[in-house]
């Protein structure tokens, strides 16, 4: 049965529940460049923001125009889903995302609703559409202050690698070098493990606290009964394979 064309959410939590239910139907980011961008499945169509305006500026890198159109389509698909999952404020005003392509150091950067993307990176890594999704999460997060950057980056990579690009999830960790405060994929993996191990929506809880400007590390202990350092030790123990038993002589 085809989903209705428009759904009206009575609350942000209702949108979160629906978004969570349809994640399995969300298009995963293509591993190889393709002429057309991801299409919006019928089940997700009701979530597409009617008032979302995505613009593209490739004047500084016209050779990126085709790739930029794919990035635009990806933003149109994922913006409403990520907004629902992160309980973004619902308002009747127009939502905007501006994608700017130009030569720059680094990969990409986000300021408010503007995502600036390195033309050089796009040309050398045409398969990396997922980095735009990571930056899109930052647009939607829009937290009141820059706080706990490690957690903000970890949430962004959790959405990228645990909802869109599962093949990019890290498989091994170096206990001597890595820490939950490293951010990005390391923190994303840590958050995913906590949610599964302790059956608690720690990402949504942390996101809500960050959005209110009240986040404290004590939140993790409140939700799991263990502080961050204890949780990290447990996580690292869980990722290390036990030593193989010596073979017995026949």
pLDDT in tens, 113-165: 999 999 999 999 999 999 999 999 999 999 987 789 999 999 999 999 999 99
Provide the whole-model pTM.
0.79
Residue 85 Ramachandran class (φ > 0 left, ψ -120 to 50 alpha, else beta): alpha
pLDDT at residue 185 in the model:
97
Q: What angle do CA 89, 93, 97 make, to 5 degrees?
A: 80
Question: What CA–CA distance (Å, rounded) separates 243 from 95?
Answer: 53
103 and 89 Cβ atoms separated by less than 8 Å = no
Share of the chain above pLDDT 70, in %: 75
| Buried-state track 115-134, b at ≥16 Cβ within 10 A, e below 16 | bbbbbbbbeeeeebbbbbbb
Question: What CA–CA distance (Å, rounded) separates 200 from 177?
Answer: 27
**pLDDT at 83 > cutoff 60:** yes
Closest by CA to 72, choosing from 94, 97, 46, is 97
Rg (CA), the chain: 20
pLDDT in tens, 17-48: 444 444 444 445 544 444 344 444 454 454 55
pLDDT at residue 248 in the model:
58
Q: Which of 12-16, 43-47, 169-173 has the lowest mean pLDDT?
A: 12-16
pLDDT at residue 41 in the model:
46
pLDDT at residue 35 in the model:
37
CA distances to 123, 151, 222, 229 from 148, rounded to whole Å, are 32, 5, 17, 15
């Amino acid at each position: 049965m085809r989903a209705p064309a428009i759904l009206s959410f009575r609350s942000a939590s209702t949108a979160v529940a629906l978004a969570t239910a349809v994640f399995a139907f969300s298009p995963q980011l293509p591993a190889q460049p393709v002429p057309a961008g991801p299409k919006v499945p019928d089940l997700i169509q009701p979530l597409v923001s009617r008032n979302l305006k995505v613009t593209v500026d490739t004047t500084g890198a016209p050779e990126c125009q085709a790739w930029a159109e794919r990035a635009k389509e990806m933003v149109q698909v994922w913006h409403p889903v990520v907004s629902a999952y992160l309980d973004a404020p619902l308002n009747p005003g127009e939502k905007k995302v501006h994608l700017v392509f130009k030569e720059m150091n680094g990969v990409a950067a986000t300021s408010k609703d503007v995502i600036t993307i390195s033309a050089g990176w796009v040309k050398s890594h045409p398969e990396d559409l997922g980095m735009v999704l990571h930056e899109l999460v930052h647009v939607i997060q829009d937290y009141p202050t820059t706080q706990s950057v490690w957690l903000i980056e970890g949430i962004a990579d959790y959405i990228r690698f645990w909802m869109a690009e599962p093949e990019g999830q890290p498989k091994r960790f170096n206990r001597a070098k890595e820490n939950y405060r490293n951010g990005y994929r390391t923190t994303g993996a840590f958050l995913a493990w906590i949610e599964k191990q302790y059956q608690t929506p720690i990402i949504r809880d942390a996101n809500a606290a960050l959005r209110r400007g009240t986040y404290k590390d004590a939140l993790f202990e409140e939700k799991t009964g263990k502080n961050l350092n204890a949780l990290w030790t447990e996580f690292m123990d869980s990722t290390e394979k036990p030593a193989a038993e010596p073979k017995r002589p026949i």
